[in-house]
Amino acid sequence: MLHSIDFTIPTGRIYGLVGHNGAGKTTAINALLGLISYEGDVKVLGLNPFANRSKLMLDTAFISDVASLPRFLKVTELLSLVEDMHPNFNRQKAEQILADGDIRDNVKIKSLSKGMMAQLHLAIVMAIDAKLLVLDEPTLGLDITFRKKFYRRLVEDYMSENRSILITTHQVDEIEHLLTDLIFIRDGRIVLDANMDDISNRYIQILVLPEVSEEAMAHNPIFVTKQMGQDIMIFDDLEEGIATSFGTISTPSISDLFVALMEKKDASQKSANMGATK
């Protein structure tokens, strides 16, 4: 269940939606695509998605975490079917994308491996001239070579200033370099909604010198862990001059920041529950 979440995805941006299983990612996507009813105001490309789903999908492409394709068709038959059904589908582009893999157009879809099935689904969706592309775990089941090819093509061949992309994935470090914005969601609530530049300016990770560890702790890091016996701390809005005096500074990775903010929430909730039982 979602709890009064509020976010906007402008054109020309690539958003990452990150959260644990059950956090509300799929529910949010289903609401955006008009697949479920909801309370509140949702607009996608200026439309109410639940009331105007057929019109919305002309300019929206979507891949769920479970590829659902007609397994009884051959690959070439599926391309013909999509070409007949969707006015914005570019068959030649789909065939170019498939040419990078090992999928022959005369094979039955049911004979494809899980990875090949995902490749075929990706090729079809990326060949649709959509204004909004929604990817829910888009590279699930693919090897690292194809995942890298897919994300490179996504940026180089698909993304433009007139398109927006929303991606959910567990492999967050793989997409960190291409994101413009990031949303963390937890228990149906947004924990973080910021662009990547703001994140790199706001959060600092420090490999803390042992002799100043206690002093650094006094500045209330949001996360502390150890590496080779040395403290690593993540701070929110710590002055750079002070941070430098504590040790080697860097920008935390998305996965490290996610752990930091989730554990911070856990600690706050635990503290609140302890206070309520006194």
The pLDDT tens digits of the residues spanning 109-168 come to 999 888 888 888 888 988 999 999 999 888 877 788 888 888 888 888 788 888 999 998
pLDDT at 239: 95
As to burial, measured by CB atoms within 10 angstroms (0-12 exposed, 13-18 middle, 19+ buried), residue 94 is buried
Question: The pTM is what?
Answer: 0.84
CA distances from 187 to 25, 142, 259 (A): 10, 28, 15
Residue 80 CA neighbour count, 13 Å, CB half: 7
- For residue 64, the SS3 value is coil
Domains of the chain, earliest start first: 14-187 (3.40.50.300), 202-277 (no CATH)
pLDDT in tens, 216-237: 999 999 999 998 888 999 999 9
Q: Which residue has the tokens 């002799």?
A: 211
